[in-house]
A and B are shown apart, each in its own frame.
Chain A
Amino acid sequence: MIPEIGHFALILALALAACQAVLPMVGAQRNDTTMMSIARSAAYGQFLFIAISFGCLIYAFLHDDFSVLYVASHSQLALPTPYKVSAVWSAHEGSLLMWILILSIWTMAVAHFRGDRPQKLDARVLSVLGMLSVGFLLFALLTSNPFERLIPAALDGGDLNPLLQDPGLAIHPPILYVGYVGFSVAFAFAIAAMISGELDQNWARWTRPWTVIAWSFLTIGIALGSWWAYYELGWGGWWFWDAVENASFMPWLIGTALIHSLAVTESRGLFKSWTLLLAITAFSLSLLGTFLVRSGIIVSVHAFATDPTRGYFILTFLAIVVIGALILYAWRAPALDSSVGFGLLSRETFLLLNNVLLVVATTLVLLGTLAPLIVEMTSGGKISIGAPWFEVAFLVPMIPLVMLLGLGMHTAWRRQNTAPWQKLLRLPAIAAVVVGILLPLLFYGRVGLMLAVGTIAAVWIFFSSLIQPIRSWRRAPGNAGITRSALGMCIAHFGMGLFVLGATIVSAFGIESDRSLSIGESVEVAGLEFELRELRDVTGPNYSAIEGVIEVRRDGEFVTTMRPQKRQYLVQKSWMTEAGIYPRWNKDLFVALGDQLGGGAWSVRIQYKPMIRFIWIGAFVMAMGGLISVTDRRYRRRAIPEPAV
C-alpha cells in the first residue's frame, strides 16, 4: 500500500510540474498575473508530493518491505537503521528520486525567497525549473521506478554494498546533489533572462547567491567524496582522476568561473553573455556527469549497474537542454551585451584571466575524461588516460590561476593605478617567496622547484587574503569595516590556500609502502616503527572481522596503537578493508591490512601522509567563505510593494 502511495504521489508531482512548466511561462508572455502566480503554489505542491514519495521509500526501507524490488536489492534485515535510510540513495532509482527531491527543494526555496525580484522573472525561472522537473520525473517514472514490486516478496534482502555502509558515504551524495542540482537555478535564471531579453546588474545580484550556495555545497560534496575514498577504499589516495570524480569536478570548475563572472556582471554590468554561457555550461556538465555515472558508458569504480535505456533517456534529455539553451543563446545573447570599457590593469582583467584559465582547465579534464570514448568510437582501440596526464595538464592552467588570484583581489574595478598597487603587494609577495621556500626546508628538510611553486602559491594566497580583513579590523575595531561579501571572498580564497598547501606537501612528502608483517615483527616507515602485536577476531552487527593490532613507536617511544580491520560482511560474503588511521592536524598515519601471505604473515600497506587534512579542511573553508558571502546585506533586499493598478 505505502509504496503505491509513493508511486502515485510521484505521478501527481509530475502533473504539478507540468503545470508549473507551462502556465507561468504563458502568463509571463501575456502579462497575466493570475497565471504567473500559479508558479509558487505549484512549486510548493510539487515539493509536498515528492516529499511524500521520498518518505514512502524511506518507510519501505525502515520496515524491510522486501516486496519492493529496490528495497530487496539494497537492504537487509540486519542492516543498522541509519544505513537503511542511507540505502535509499545507494543506487540508481533511489538516488534519482533524491535528485528530484532536491530539485523541488531548490525550486521551493526560489519561490519562497522572492527578495525584490519582479514577478515576471520569477514566473519564468520557476517555469524553467518546472520543465527540468518534468524531465527528471519522467525519467524516474518511465525507466527507474523505485517502487516496482517484487512478487513473491523476498524473505531477506540482498544487502547494501559494504563499501557504502559508512557515515561519510551516507552524507556524500545528498550534499553533492544539492550542489549539482543547485546549478539548475542559475541555469533557469539564464534562460529566463534570455527569454525576456532583460539582463541588468540586478539580475546578477539575484542569481549570484543561489549560484554561490550551490557551489559551496558542491565543494563540500566533492571533498566528502575524496575523504571517503581516502579512508574507505583502502587506497590512501585523495583524488584519482576517475571519470566520475571528473564528472563532479567539471561543474565545480565552471561553477567557480561562473561565480567570478557573475561578480563582474553584478558590479560592472559586463561579461553578460559570457555569464549566461557559463550558467548553461555548468548545468549541462552536471547533466553530463549524471549521464556518465548512470549509463555505465565509462569504466569507473563508481559506475552504477548498466542499463542502456536509462543512458539513452539522459542523453536525449541532455541534448534537449543543451541544444535548446544554446539556440536560445545564439538568438538572444548578442543583444544583451553592453559596451563599457575597463583598463588593462583592473579587476575586470584579472577576473577575465580567471575565467579563461578555469575554462581551459575544464576543457582539459573533459578531454581526458572523454578521450577513451572518442578513441573507441573512431579507431576501436580501448584506451585509458592515466592520472599522470591529468596532473600535468591540470597544473598548467592552475599555477597561473592561483598566482593571479592574490593580485586580482587587490585590484580596483575599472582602472587601477600602478604605484599604490605595487606598494601594497610588494611586501606580501616577497614574504610569500621567502616563507614558501623556507617552510618545506625547515619542516621537511628538502625543497624542489615544483614543491616551492606550490608552497609559495599557498603562502601568497594566505597573505593576500589576509590584507583586507586585517586592514578593516585595524581601521574600525569592533565595527568591521568589511562587507560580508568581501569577507566571504577572503575566507574562500584562504581555504584555497590551505588546499594548495595540503595537496603540495602530501604529494611531495607522502610515503606509501607495502610490507609483509608477522606477529611480533616490526618494519620502519617514515622514521616510525610499526609492530604487529596481535591479530584478533572481532564481530560487528553484520560482519565479522580480523583486526590487526599495530603499535607505532618513534625512537622506541610509544606513539599510538592502530587497529586496521579486514571485514567479511555476512550476507554478500565480500571482504572489505577498514583502514586504521591515526589523524593529526599536520599528518596522518594510515595502515591497511592486505592478504594472508602464508606462514602467519600478512601484507600491510603503510602510509605517511603529511598535511593531507588541509585538503579537506581547505575545501570546507572555501565553502564556508561562499556561504558567508551570501549573507551580505544587498542580497536581502525586500520588494517595495507595487502600487495597485
Chain B
Amino acid sequence: MKPRQQRMLAIGLAALGVAIAAGLSLRAFEENMMFFVDVSDVVAGDYPDERTFRIGGLVVADSVEREEGSLDLRFRVTDMRCELEVSYVGVLPDLFREGQGVVAHGAMGADGVFVADKILAKHDEDYMAPEVAESMAKHVEDKTESLRAGQSECNPQ
C-alpha cells in the first residue's frame, strides 16, 4: 500500500470506529443514565416514571423496620425537609446506619414507597456523597423558609 492509501485507510478505519462507537453509546446512554432526584422532589411527585433513578439523604433515626428473620427491610430517608419510605431486600453495606448518609438505586413502587435494588454507603465514615450533602444543604434552607412562612416543613411545589 502506498503511504497515501495507508493514511486514507487509517483515517477511514478510525472514523468508522468512532462513528460506530458514538452511535452505540448515544443509544445506550439514554437508557443507562440514572438521575439523582432530591427526596423532596420525589415526595412532590416529580421523578422519572418507569425507569430507575437514585435518591439520597440521611437514614431517619428509629425508622429501620424489619420482619424478624427476614431480609425484607423498610426505612425512611430524609433530605432534612421531606421523608421518603424505602423498601429493600438483601444484605446491607457495612456503613449503613440510622442517622448516616445513604444513596439508593431503584424505582417508585405503586404505594409511594421507593423500591431500592441497591443501597450504597461509602468507604469512609466522614465521607458523604457530594450530591447528598448538596441536596440536604439546599433543603435545610427551604425548610427554614417554609417554617418561617407558617407552613408545614414538607410542602414542596
* Known contacts A516-B70, A575-B94, A343 near B1 by CB under 8 Å: yes
Q: Could you say which residues of chain A place their CB within 8 Å of the CB of B123?
A: 161, 163, 301-302
A144 CA to B24 CA, complexed, in Å? 42
Number of residue pairs spanning A and B whose beta carbons lie under 8 angstroms apart: 131
Q: CA A235 – CA B56 in complex, angstroms? A: 21
Write the residues of chain B forming the contact surface with A, with a CB cutoff of 8 angstroms: 1-3, 5-6, 9-10, 13-14, 17-18, 20-21, 24-25, 28-29, 31-36, 54, 66, 68-71, 89-92, 94-95, 122-127, 129-131
Q: Which 5 A-B pairs have the closest CB atoms?
A: A594-B91, A389-B32, A382-B36, A601-B69, A598-B68
Contact A301 B29 (CB under 8 A): no
Asked whether, in the complex, the Cβ of B126 is within 8 Å of the Cβ of A299, the reply is no
Could you name 10 residue pairs across A and B whose Cβ atoms are closer than 8 Å?
A299-B130, A303-B127, A343-B1, A382-B36, A393-B24, A393-B25, A574-B125, A597-B71, A598-B68, A600-B69
Would A397 and B17 be within 8 Å (CB), given that A340-B3, A382-B36, A597-B70 are in contact? yes
Q: Which residue from B18, B32, B71, B131 sits with its C-beta under 8 Å from A299?
A: B131
In the assembled complex, the CB of B156 is this many whole angstroms from the nearest CB of chain A, namely 17
One of B3, B14, B21, B70 near A341 (C-beta < 8 A): B3
A296 close to chain B: CB less than 8 A = yes
Q: Are A595 and B129 in contact (CB under 8 A)?
A: no
When each residue 517-529 of chain A gets 1 if its CB lies under 8 Å from chain B and 0 otherwise, what string results? 0100000000000
Q: A375-B33, A392-B24, A574-B125 are in contact. List 15 more A-B contacts (CB 8 A).
A: A306-B130, A340-B3, A341-B1, A342-B6, A352-B10, A356-B17, A371-B29, A382-B36, A383-B34, A514-B89, A516-B69, A575-B95, A599-B68, A599-B69, A603-B91
Interface contact A341-B6, CB-CB below 8 Å: yes
Are A603 and B90 in contact, with the CB atoms below 8 A? yes
Which of chain A's residues have a CB closer than 8 A to the CB of B18?
Answer: 360, 363
Residue among B24, B89, B95 with the most chain A CB within 10 A? B24
Interface of A is mostly: mixed
Main SS of chain B's interface residues? mixed
Q: Answer yes or no: A134 CB below 8 A from chain B CBs.
A: no
A396 interfacial by beta-carbon distance below 8 Å: yes
- Contacting residue for A356 out of B13, B25, B31, B126, CB 8 A: B13
B71 contacts A603, C-beta separation under 8 Å: yes
Give the residue of B28, B66, B70, B124 whose beta carbon is less than 8 angstroms from that of A393. B28
Beyond A382-B35, A389-B29, A597-B66, is A396–B20 a contact (Cβ under 8 Å)?
A: yes
Report which A residues bind B (CB closer than 8 A): 161, 163, 234, 296, 299, 301-303, 305-306, 339-344, 349, 352-353, 356-357, 359-360, 363-364, 367-368, 371, 375, 381-386, 388-389, 392-393, 396-397, 514-516, 518, 572, 574-577, 592, 594-595, 597-601, 603-605
Shortest Cβ gap from A460 to chain B (Å): 22
Chain B neighbourhood of A353, CB < 8 A: 13
Could you tell me if A605 and B91 are in contact, using CB atoms closer than 8 angstroms? Answer: yes
The chain A residue with its CB closest to the CB of B10 is A352
Q: How far apart sit A492 and B51, CA to CA, in the bound complex (Å)?
A: 42
